[in-house]
Homo-oligomer: A and B are copies of this chain.
Amino acid sequence: MSMDAVFKALADESRRQFLDRLHKKNGQTLGELCEGIAMSRQAVTKHLTILEEANLVATQKRGREKLHFINPVPINDIAERWIGKFEQNHLATLSALKQKLESEEK
């Protein structure tokens, strides 16, 4: 629930990478998330726990495996609270411009 937990969770590069990986392929097991990472399994577990406590990742047990799912809501909350505040409608303008450019490309 706490916004602070979300910011702190996002403050670590490894954790942001785990979110990236879950974004590419959702519902991965701990084992899968450990692959190709220069870090012990326990270290990965700790990172995932922090993401879970920040509500950025939800988990579900399937037999002896633990599946990890990304939850975009807290990131959306940050957007509401921060991006909107500091950018006002600048971002919306930018997004509109981008769409315009993309439509013209076709």
Contact = CB atoms under 8 A, between A and B. Distances in A.
A37 to B, nearest CB: 17
Interface residues of A, number: 26
Contacts of A85: 23
Interface in A60-82: 70, 72, 75-76, 78-79, 82
A62 to B, nearest CB: 24
Q: Give the number of times this chain occurs in the complex, counting copies.
A: 2
A77 to B, nearest CB: 10
Contacts of A72: 86-87, 90
Closest 5 CB pairs of A and B: A11-B11, A72-B86, A79-B83, A7-B11, A8-B11
A17 to B, nearest CB: 11
